[in-house]
Amino acid sequence: NIPCCRDPETAAQALAASATYAAWLARPVGMIPQFDDVRREEALAAAKALPEFPEPHAFEVILHHMGISTQPGQETPYPLTAGITQHPLFGPVLQVQEGGFIDHRIFPLTDTESQDLTEALIGVSRQISSAHRNALAELMLRLSLLSEEIPDLLHLTLRIAPCTADPEKLACTPIGVSMRTIS
């Protein structure tokens, strides 16, 4: 079975795609980290008390229980948002968006996946710098844990900005939340 291509350009493209795929397969798989400061029971109890479309600020208690800090950040002309949205085939997915950059990842996220997404975002972001690398990767991992722990969460959007008090931290503000109601 010898591969056959119509022209050298097609052969080069096929070889490049094979090399990219081989590099992806050779990468470490990564692990799903556990966070010691997460209070699952309190977060779940608070989530069950929320209505179907709660005020976004009401969700801050749940974020706090999951170890995600909420505080006012610097207002920026290019808002970065991250959150949980529902995909019709894959269920809850992470969505990160700034300007024209939009990326989705399937939960649960591993540490290597969050680092890859962070690197891609830092490359195109106008407000997130390499100083925020660890904070952004951790936020994505905590959002992955949040979607797992609170399955009734249908949609969450957080506005993310550099923290005014500590330039290496990120401030999160919930701007959209919807919950599945259990009857």
Is 92's pLDDT higher than 80?
yes
pLDDT digits (tens, 9 = 90+) for 48-60: 888 877 888 788 8
Whether 59 and 155 have beta carbons less than 8 Å apart is answered as no
Q: Which of 33-42, 77-86, 151-160 has the lowest mean pLDDT?
A: 77-86
Q: Helix and strand tally (H, E) in the chain?
A: 5, 5
Whether 31 and 22 have beta carbons less than 8 Å apart is answered as no
Encoded amino acid at 162, one letter: P
Q: What is the DSSP letter of 109?
A: P
Whether 117 and 82 have beta carbons less than 8 Å apart is answered as no
> How many whole angstroms separate alpha carbon 91 and alpha carbon 88?
6
Find, among 87, 39, 34, the residue nearest to 64 by Cα. Answer: 39
pTM of the entire predicted model: 0.82
pLDDT digits (tens, 9 = 90+) for 147-181: 999 888 889 999 888 776 776 778 888 888 888 76
pLDDT at 57: 79
Is 43's pLDDT higher than 80?
yes
pLDDT category at 78 given cuts 50, 70, 90 is low
Using the CB atoms, write b or e for 143-181: b if 16+ within 10 Å.
bbbbbebbeebbbbbbbbbbbeeeeebbbbbbeebbbee
pLDDT at 181: 60
Number of neighbouring beta carbons within 10 Å of residue 116: 17
pLDDT at 106: 94
Q: What stretch of H or E contains 177?
A: strand 170-179
Number of neighbouring beta carbons within 10 Å of residue 25: 7
Higher per-residue confidence, 30 vs 181: 30
Structural domains of the chain sorted by starting position, each given as residue range(s) with its CATH number in brackets = 32-179 (3.30.470.20)
pLDDT at 73: 59
pLDDT digits (tens, 9 = 90+) for 101-153: 899 999 999 999 999 999 888 888 777 777 888 889 999 999 999 999 988 88
pLDDT at 183: 41
Whether 179 and 156 have beta carbons less than 8 Å apart is answered as no
